Each structure stands twice: as C-alpha cells, then as structure tokens.
Amino acid sequence: MPHSNPPLTAQSTLLRGPESFIRGLLEEAGIAVNGHQPWDIQVHNPDFYARVLRHGSLGLGESYMDGWWDCERLDELFYRVLRHGLDRKTLRLGHYLGSLLASVLFNLQSKRRAYIVGERHYDLGNDLFQAMLDPTMSYSCGYWKAARDLVEAQRHKLALICAKLCLQPGQRLLDIGCGWGGLAEYAARHHGVEVVGITISREQQALARERCAGLPVQIRLQDYRELDERFDRIVSVGMFEHVGYKNYRTYMKVVRRCLKDDGLMLLHTIGSNESQRSVDPWIGKYIFPNGMLPSIAQLGRAWEELLVMEDWHNFGADYDKTLMAWYTNFCAAWPNLRARYDERFFRMFRYYLLSCAGAFRARNIQLWQIVLSPRGVSGGYQAPR
C-alpha cells in the first residue's frame, strides 16, 4: 500500500544541521527523540539524522530496517508525522526528482514490466499471507461498519461488493487482479455467477485455482491489457494501484471494451488526495515496485467519455483497522515464519504495515469503491451501504 508523494519545500531549512533540524521537526508533532511516549523514537546510531535528510523516506525506512532506530508504536509515530505535514519538510530534491523523472520518461507499469510486483511481493510466500490475512485471503481493506473483527470485516466487504454489482445467477463476472481467489469463490458460491479472474502472480494463481476447484471459476495468469471478451460485470479490488498514471486511460478502455452495455463495474482502490506521477521511494523499492495511487482528477480523466460514475464511496478510515489486524496476525505468526524470513524482513514488514496504518489514520490516503456503468443506469443507481 504506497504513500502519497509530498511536494518539495525550501532546502534552506536544512542549514541548522541534521540532528537539530530533525529534532525540531519532530517536536512540532509532539514526538521526542529518546523520549518515553510510545510514539517517540529511540535513536541508536547518530548517523540516522543525516541519512534521513540525504535520502528522505528511503533513508528513514532503510535505517529502521538496519536497526538504527526504534519506536514502540510506529503507527502512532506516522499518524503524527503525516497529520502535522512533517513529511513535506524532509523530502530531498535530488531524490524526489530522480523518482519523478523515471516515471515521466518511462512507463514503469508497461505490459513487459507488469509481472514484477507479482514476483517481488505477491510471490513472497503463501504461508506469510495465509498467516496474516483472513480465511478469504482478502489483501485489501475490510468493511468495518458492522464488523467485530477482521473475519467479519472482509466477509462484509465481499458482500458489499456483490450487492453493489447487483449480481444475478448466470451472469459472467471478470475479476481484474483476483488475488488468491476470495472474491471469485464468494461470488460464484453465493450468487451463482461464472467468474474469470486474472492475476500477475503465480503463487496467487495456484492457490486461487485450488480454493475455487469445482466452481464455475477460471483463474488466469494474464495482464489486463490482453483482455478482449465481454462480461456482464467487472470488478477490480486492490489492483488499480499497480496500473500507473500513464496507463489509466488504457485500463478504462479495456473495461469499456469488455463490459456489456447494460453492465456495471466496481473499482476498489486506494486513492491519493493529490495527483502524483511517482511512488514513495521506500514503498516502491521494498513493497510494491512501480506502484502509484490515483487521484480523483486522474480517475475522472481516465474514464471521461467512456463510463458514467454511478457511486463513489470512501471508507479509508477502515483501512487503519484492517492493517492493525494484519499486524496483529503477522506478529502472532512470526515464531512460525522466522525460519523462512529473517529479522530484517520482520522489521521491513512491520514498518510497512504500521506506517500505512498511520497514513490512513491521518487521512493522508483514502480507500474508494467506485461504481461505473457504460451509459448510465436507467432510472438511476441505488447504492447499498
């Protein structure tokens, strides 16, 4: 789950010296160095300050992975950092421009590069994700409106999606980015639809085929740009974050090409409060290579003249609860996982889950479910909640 990229600020603020500057920034958010609050940071290596100023978010994340600093409640630390806009004051110009230049000059999410994130993240190991996620293996935000725990939140999310799509027996559903097949299995089992799910992860494909055995579900290892067949309904959950701004329009053209004239499409995606063209460097290097969060403006331009927006539902605050539940499961499973994953991996994954939880808690990033139709639903669309 990538963070939004902040704009640059004047570099003159760095003249105070790395340690003094960082300490001063943290104090603005009520965070102390070597303090006693759970969100305070404990610095073990004095080179930490210069590394953060030199490499920005990449330096912050890598120095944590290297054990240069610790924090009892990383989620609360990042909530305070982002809520007070401190991330905007530490971004290094050269590092930001390098990331931005690469995304502008190259299509980092091209068809040739589409399988990179599958190989480097989703193929980490099904044992890891089975231990961390709920039984449906939903690696996306749960719906906590009436849920008491993660299991209920994810089941309620699947039920909500199917209700918004108005699924009927015999319909044909396309699941773009089907993950481990949780939604495909649920829709086929509970709504009697035929499902085609596509993924760019071999590990996901294998497990999805296993869990959907005996159901009218086909799981393919396929890039969305290869699709050219018709469906009554299309859904995409937690996949659009890998599409990239250069491909948003292409993606929507594929949706329109594959969606019947009386069909519906539901897009479930993390969203950015502002338009961006590059990814957070640490998230891009260690978690989601070439990931990118869309903005409202970018999405609107992508489907303009192709699709009609029927409903836009934001429940981004629910992702905070989802991530914290995943973190609890991850920590509980770690004694059994550590034989395959080292301590640096543990620190990396802890940093990933808790920093993202803090970002959603700060409302720095959002979670949107958007319902689209080709021509507008006759008489209007009634959105369930």
Task: Give the burial string for 223-233 (b: 16+ CB within 10 Å, else e).
Answer: bbeebeeebbb
Whether pTM exceeds 0.85: yes
Task: Give 4-30 pLDDT, tens digit per residue.
Answer: 444 434 444 445 688 998 999 899 999
Q: Poorest-confidence range of 101-110, 180-189, 338-347?
A: 101-110
For the chain, the maximum distance between any two Cα atoms, rounded to a whole number of angstroms, is 67
Does the pLDDT of residue 79 top 90, yes or no? yes
User: What does the chain come to in residues?
Assistant: 385
Q: What span, in angstroms and rounded, lies between the C-alpha atoms of 46 and 48?
A: 5
Query: What is the amino acid identity at position 381?
Result: Y
Task: Write out the two tokens for 214.
Answer: 């005996």
Query: Could you tell me if 219 and 199 are in contact, meaning their C-beta atoms sit under 8 angstroms apart?
Result: yes
What does pLDDT average to over the chain?
Answer: 88
Query: Could you tell me if 196 and 174 are in contact, meaning their C-beta atoms sit under 8 angstroms apart?
Result: yes
Does the pLDDT of residue 329 top 50, yes or no? yes
> Distance of CA 125 to CAs 122, 180, 244, Å?
7, 12, 25
Task: Give 274-295 pLDDT, tens digit per residue.
Answer: 998 877 889 888 888 778 899 9
Q: Is the dihedral of CA 334, 338, 341, 346 positive or negative?
A: positive
Q: What span, in angstroms and rounded, lies between the C-alpha atoms of 195 and 174?
A: 6
Among all residues, which ones are annotated catalytic?
Answer: 356
Does the pLDDT of residue 114 top 70, yes or no? no
SS3 175: strand
What is the pLDDT, as a whole number, of residue 93? Answer: 37
- Residue 9: exposed, middle, or buried by beta-carbon count in 10 A (0-12, 13-18, 19+)? middle
